[in-house]
Structure formats: C-alpha cells, structure tokens
Structure 1
C-alpha cells in the first residue's frame, strides 16, 4: 500500500532491503512501529528482493495494516544495492535513512536524527550505533560533532550505509550504490557521499541504530569471499579517495583505514588463524599485491606498531611469520581491578596481558621504546611505540545489561611504567583511571535499568575490554542511582584453559622455528 498521492511529503523515508530474514526482522519492525516520530511524518519502504521464505506476504499484510509502510517486490538481485537504489527512487521524504532487515532503531532515533539534521543543515547525519555480536565505530561517537569532515575526524571508520541522507543531496549528485554481487559497495557509496557533502553531522549522545550479527553469522558481511574480487572492489573505494585528494598526509590517513581494517586486521589473531589454509594463502597474496600497488610508505608508517609489524611481514612475503604474530596476538587480553568505589567516583587499575603474562616493552639505549614480539626480523623502527605509550589510556564504560548501548564515563587516566627486574630495559605499563559517575551522560538521560561497568584499554593499536565487578542501578522514579557490587568474581577477561595455553605455546614454538 502506498500513501495517498495527495498527502504531504514525509520528513523521513526509511529504506530497507529485505531478503529471507525470517524472525530476524521482528525487532526492526517493532522498532519502526514504536518510533516517537509521528507515523504521518515518515514512511517505510520495504524492498523485497525476491524472498522465498514467505516474507513477501508478511510485508504485504504489514503494509495493509499501516499506511506509512509500503512494499516493493522485485526479482532477486543477489545483493542489497539494487533494493536500496529503488528505495531512493521511491522515497518522498526530506531525508532517506537506510537500514538492514536484521538491525533495528532506538525508539527516538528518527525524531532525533531529523531534528539534528535540520538544526545543523546537514546533508548526512551519522547516528550513534551499538553492536550486538559485531563491532561498531567507537572513537567517532565520543561526542556530538555538528560539522565533521572525513579528512579531520574518524568518519572514515563508519562506512556502512545506515545513516540519514538528505534526499535532494543524493539526487543532486546522482549518488547510488554499485549494483551486482560484489563487496564493499557501501564503501564506494559512503565515501562518495562524504566528499560531496556540504555538512556531515555526528549524533553521539543517543543510540540510534543497533547493528546485529545473526547467531549463525549469515549476514552478508560475515560470509566468506573471494580475495581477488574483494581487493578489486576495495580499489574502487581507494579510487574515490584519490579523485578527491592529492598525494600526501590526508590521502595517507584515509588510505590507512583500508590497510588497517580490510587488510592487516584480516591477517591478525584468530580471524586469520581460523580461516582455511588455501584462503589464507590467497588473501595474503592479494593483500601483498594491493600494498605494493596502492599504498605510499606513509600509510603503513601511521599504523600502530602491532599492525605495522604485520604490514612489514606482508612486504617481506613471510606468511609463516604472519601466522606466528597472529597466534601471539590472539592471546592479548586485558585485566582490571577496582578500588574504593563510591556513588560519585571509582578508581580502576588495569593492564594488557599476552599469554597470561603482562605485555612488555623495551626501553632502548637511544631513548626509544619498542614493543616486544615473539617474531624475529622486524626492524626496531617498525616496533617503535614511544609516542603510542604517551597517548595510551584506559576508559571506563557503562553498558546497559540486556542491551547493546554503551557509553564512555567521564574519566582521566595515568600510566605507570613498571620495570622488569629480570630483564634490563624491559618494562610493562599499568593504567590507573579515575572515573566520575555521571548517569545523565548515558543515552541522553534515557538510562533506566542496570549498567555494567568495564574498562577499555587503548594502547599501541589494541583496544581490549575487561569487566569491573560493579553495576550502576538507575530507577525510573527519580531515586538516586546506586552503585552495586555483586558477589566477588574474577575481573580479568583472560580465562584460557590449560590445554589452550599448551596449544598456543606449542604453536608459537613451532612458528619461531620456521621464522
């Protein structure tokens, strides 16, 4: 059912590509039916991409019951791009908001995003995301950014399409998703939009969008892929960056996102170790070709040491050494303790571990600090962490129990170097963070419930979380928040079984022999 032709245009058009979602779509539908924005102010365009599980009939019933929902049925195109493009063509709203059929919205999301866009004259608004079973940008959402630019902020960390775009802006620049079965089509669309936009705004004080991994990891982003095709599609995103920048620091900074996230991180930790051997070799070969072809030296130089090390081993063509580094990285965890907590303030202490022992560094005679890794042949300048250790921090975060909302708690960190008496020059780092409990900063005051506290250590390219044995209880009746301490429990996330430790140690020993 389509809205009557005579009705006034809506404020927002929500475009959703749909293909065989089953019950995974329930939360999205519920969230759209419960928006605080008046149903007369937004429309939902559901593009059924040839579903075969009865979804088409379900969507038709939904549209028959709710005038602001409409359904478009098309033959299966095999990927979300075609449905999204049809949604843009159908949309009548001032803004177009994209969603996937297995995600959902915060109750006030559309109302807040629209108001923020109007307030700031935005062509694009990036709403705060929360992840359930999958990662979402973190640093981008530390605070509201009314006017953000890709070359000066962490915008490049957010390249999924789940944003609000001014429809006239999309039409003016002819912005559409590349169609066909392919990867990283959203990167091409979003980067082109970022460069074309007059103003991009980031709304960080309320969780607008919940990004969900299905329990069976059947979302498109989790499927295996052909490395050659993948890196071919990645080059298209780099082409957009190159067309809008000149060689130098800005281009290197933007390129670094693809070297870091799409290349080096896929060579790291369990993600690489658990992949099929043939795929690992194909990916390594294609990644090595991309690095040689497209990335200037300054791209890898700006990575954290652990990622520079993997990039260096890629250039050296040492896949066995990459496996060794990945096995070591897979054991890096955080642990933390808390002391003298009160309803106003807590003090947490934490550090990073590797294989159950503190992560260590070396202070060199020349005054530089280097990361200690169990792989030979990596130049000292690649492992340099002198500057990184000065900016290392440990944040305290609150995460709503039973949900995915997560917010930084106002805090301040100091870092102490602890020398190793058995190894001259070696030391570990211990973080101490004092956090101020400020409930009103959680989800813009929409915070009733239980919030579990944890720390996040950000150091030398790692971000690792460890729980704290504390919870913040916030009632709906205006009573003061309560800081609760549950029964004692281990506060380290490092819980390797002895057998797993033995296997890791044996693998590292074997790989050291190879490298």
Structure 2
C-alpha cells in the first residue's frame, strides 16, 4: 500500500439493467490476486429497473471492499463514471463495463506496471468477444508509449488504468448531458497528450471486452449520424489543439477516418445497413472528409481504404454498394505445408492468400506499379497504387487460447511469392508462406493449460483477415507437452464415413 488505508486501485463500474450479466465481472473481481484490502470496486447503479440494484447490494453486503451507489437514471455511462471518480480512494482508477471481466492477475499486474514505470496511464492487453480490440498495439510491451512512437491512438476506450491524481489535476471527466456517443474518445485523447508517461502491458491479457448476445449493452443500438459525427469532430478538435498540421496530425486523424467512417461504408456492414440511414451516414462522412481532413489523411491509407474514401468524398453511394458486395466475399485461406514436433516444441509451415469468393485478390502491372484490381473501372490508378503495401504485406501466425480468448503473436519467418496470370494475363496474386516454432514450455509465459487454436493473419492493402488452421494444441497443465489434434484427419474420417453410408 502506498499509504495506510489507501487502496492501490479503484475499479469504477457503471451498471444498468445488467441482471445476471454482472456476475461474471463480480466473480473476476473476487478472484483477483491483488488482496481484497488493496483495491476497491465502486458500482454505480444508473437507476436500473430490473434486479441489478438488489444483486449489487447483496454483493456489497458480503464484501467490504465493494461499494454501490444508486442514482436516478442518466441514460449513459458518463455520469456514473464521473461519480465513481469522485468517490474513489485508490491511487489508480480503472473503468470497467458491467458485462466485461478481468483476468485473475489483472489489477496486480496493471498496478505493478504503473509503479515500475511511474505511469499516469497503463493500457492493459484486451481480448474481444464480438468487439474489436487493438492488435498491433499489443504486439509487444511499450513502457514509454506516446501518440508519436506507437499505435496508441488505436486504443480509445476508457478501459484502462489512470492515476487518480492525474485525472483530478487536469479535470479529466466524461461529457455529461444525454447520450453522447464516443464519450470516452475526447477524454482518452486528452489524457494521452497530457500524460507524463503511458505504458502498454501486452504480455498478459488483462481485460475481456464483450458484446452481449442480447445486444443490450448500454451503448448498443443504431447511432444517430448527426450527433455521432459531432462527437467525432470534438475528438478531432482535441488532436488539432495539440498538434501542428503535418504527418503526426494526419496519422491521428486517420484513425477516425478508418474506424468511425470508412469501416461503416465497407462489406457486409454497409450491405446490412438500412438504405435511408446509410445515406445520412454517407453524407455526414462526406462533410467531415471535406471539412477536416488534409490530403495526407486518406493518402496514408492502403489502396482499398483509399478507394472507399475516394468514393465517399464524392458521395458515390451506389458505387460504395458495388464495392461492398465484392468485398463481402474477401477471406483469408490457409493450408498447412509441414508439421514437425520435438518434445515441447512444434514447428509448423503454412501457406496463405487472400481471395475474393473463389478468385485470388489480384494486382495489375501499370507503368511499374502494382495496382489493386477492383470490380469497377472508375477509380484512378493512383488511388489504387498498391506497390508499397505489396512490399510490406505481412503474414502473422497467431495462437489463440480457446478458453480465455488470449492471442499470442508467434515469431516466424515468412516470404511472399508472386504468382502471375491466375486472374488475367497482366495480373499477379500473392501467396505468403511462414514457418514458426511454438515452444509450449515458454508460450504465454508458460501459462498454457487448455486448448490453443492456430490462425494465419494476412495484412495487405487494407485487409487484415484471419484463416483458421485445422490444428488444435491441447495442454493438460501449464508448460506441458501438447497433444495435437489435426482436424484435417478428423474431417477426412468424417468424410470417409459419410461416403461409406452414401454408397450403402
């Protein structure tokens, strides 16, 4: 304890009509390796109308380090979080959602990282369930991360550890007054600029972030385009107030262009959107692109996203639909070329490629450039110039722990082969090959008990796509020699059995 009677961490949780969904978070708090007298949890019940209040009161009655505040319904997490800060006593504050949960050592490791690095903010590795979470940011530990030296901008949710005195010193609070989409973006971006040191803890999955199956998370539901993009503009204002025009500002702006705008105008997400609502979204995006972004913002995107931005800026919604129908068929395909094992280690070699339906994604030679081939001719070749991205194409091998969702990037060697003529006489497509050795005595710091799935992750020209590989590694105990289940053999047995029954 830094001071007698002062908790190391205060966990602040807004809660509204979560009912039994709160139990997983509560159980994870009770399992924390950080002793119960060294942290507190503050639940703020935002006027729930189900049995949430009673569940929380019972929890607090049984556990002295858990507190419940009951308030009239504010309709959004901002006011409950702000009240949680005001009532917190901890040296650090972590904001959690009522349907997420913590890994068992999360608070202890986050606090230790904060103290070791004297950090104002610690971003702990997250696992997503129906929700996107940063990938590149968590490739490695980053104990002195800034917006300039790391992809910190990829993590804008508030599910982080903040020094409480830092929040108070700068008056960092969530915006109140009705439903404010992206309410955490402006606060988190301001915090990043003000932080004396920000650390990223990537070698332990701290936080599990969930989209509930019943879609009743408090911020779920269809957004109002006008107010949503007003919130985007507020976050851009924070960036503009703290940067000069140039590459850094363009890179930070690019995060909102990519995630809050272009992602809504692509593939299945666009195709599933109501037509009238999509027209409103496309109009708001067009205005933000025209009003706020320098040419370098879209110019720094990979060619697929440049094409979407190009069509969005021109208001070409019909063409966006055409492109989305084609992109909806994009997928990564991977095969296992070789599998070898030695004691606790397994060496695997795989091949993978991107395909649109049953055709490889192609590139056309054009005056010494590789130009991405799309199903339309009305986009200028310079917009689709993929030369730099083809050179930087990457294949990662990722081990995913089935029970917890934790993902580990595996060190690998890979190469890219250019195959000519498959999609046309003047076109090429790319096949990526990678080899990795997985040492199960050391993987995930030796915490390997359970089942591990293997994925091939291709990153190229605007796509990051995973291909599930037909291998499952099963460890009976931490660091133990894995049993390998080769699902190709299982599938062949099933197919043979079905074939025999058909013949009968």
Match of 1:448 in 2: 449
CA–CA separation in structure 2 for the residues paired with 1:161 and 1:347: 39
Which consecutive segments of 4 or more residues in structure 1 shift more than 4 A?
Answer: none
> Is 1:167–2:159 an aligned residue pair?
no
Match of 1:476 in 2: 477
CA–CA separation in structure 2 for the residues paired with 1:188 and 1:348: 42
Task: Please give the secondary structure, in 1, of the residue aligned with 2:489.
Answer: coil
Match of 2:302 in 1: 304
Match of 2:212 in 1: 214
CA–CA separation in structure 1 for the residues paired with 2:92 and 2:317: 47
CA–CA separation in structure 2 for the residues paired with 1:397 and 1:440: 17
- Aligned-pair distance for 1:342? 1.7
CA contact (8 A) 1:409 1:441 kept: no
TM-score normalized by the length of structure 1: 0.92
- Aligned-pair distance for 1:232? 0.6
CA contact (8 A) 2:362 2:423 kept: no
Match of 1:55 in 2: 52
Q: What is the correspondence of 1:222-261 to structure 2 with a 5 Å cutoff?
A: 222-261=220-259
CA contact (8 A) 2:447 2:479 kept: no
Task: Please give the secondary structure, in 1, of the residue aligned with 2:37.
Answer: helix
Residues 384 and 66 of structure 1, relative CA distance in 2, 3 Å threshold: same
CA contact (8 A) 1:207 1:443 kept: no
- Aligned-pair distance for 1:220? 3.9
Q: What is the correspondence of 1:72-83 to structure 2 with a 5 Å cutoff?
A: 72-83=69-80
1:15 to 12, 18, 21: 12
- Aligned-pair distance for 1:413? 1.6
388-397 or 6-15, larger mean C-alpha shift: 6-15
Unaligned runs of 5+ in 2: 493-504
CA contact (8 A) 2:412 2:435 kept: yes
1:39 to 15, 36, 39: 36
Task: Please give the secondary structure, in 2, of the residue aligned with 1:300.
Answer: helix
CA–CA separation in structure 1 for the residues paired with 2:109 and 2:431: 40
1:283-341 alpha-carbon deviations (Å, 9 max, x no partner): 01111011100000000000111110011011222110011111111110011000221
Residues 270 and 441 of structure 1, relative CA distance in 2, 3 Å threshold: farther
- Aligned-pair distance for 1:484? 3.1
1:351-387 alpha-carbon deviations (Å, 9 max, x no partner): 00002211111121x2110100002211101101101
Task: Please give the secondary structure, in 2, of the residue aligned with 1:342.
Answer: strand
Match of 2:135 in 1: 138
> Is 1:457–2:455 an aligned residue pair?
no
Task: Please give the secondary structure, in 1, of the residue aligned with 2:340.
Answer: coil
TM-score normalized by the length of structure 2: 0.94
* Superposed CA RMSD: 1.5
Task: Please give the secondary structure, in 2, of the residue aligned with 1:488.
Answer: helix
Unaligned runs of 5+ in 1: 1-5, 492-515
Task: Please give the secondary structure, in 1, of the residue aligned with 2:148.
Answer: coil
Residues 477 and 178 of structure 1, relative CA distance in 2, 3 Å threshold: closer
CA contact (8 A) 1:334 1:466 kept: yes
CA contact (8 A) 2:360 2:423 kept: no
- Aligned-pair distance for 1:7? 6.4
CA–CA separation in structure 1 for the residues paired with 2:478 and 2:142: 32
CA contact (8 A) 2:410 2:436 kept: yes
Residues 48 and 432 of structure 1, relative CA distance in 2, 3 Å threshold: same
Match of 1:497 in 2: none
465-474 or 31-40, larger mean C-alpha shift: 465-474
Match of 2:407 in 1: 406
CA contact (8 A) 1:43 1:68 kept: yes
CA–CA separation in structure 2 for the residues paired with 1:441 and 1:381: 46
Residues 329 and 252 of structure 1, relative CA distance in 2, 3 Å threshold: same
1:409-438 alpha-carbon deviations (Å, 9 max, x no partner): 111221000001672320110000111113
- Aligned-pair distance for 1:127? 0.3
Task: Please give the secondary structure, in 1, of the residue aligned with 2:25.
Answer: helix
256-265 or 475-484, larger mean C-alpha shift: 475-484
CA contact (8 A) 1:418 1:427 kept: yes
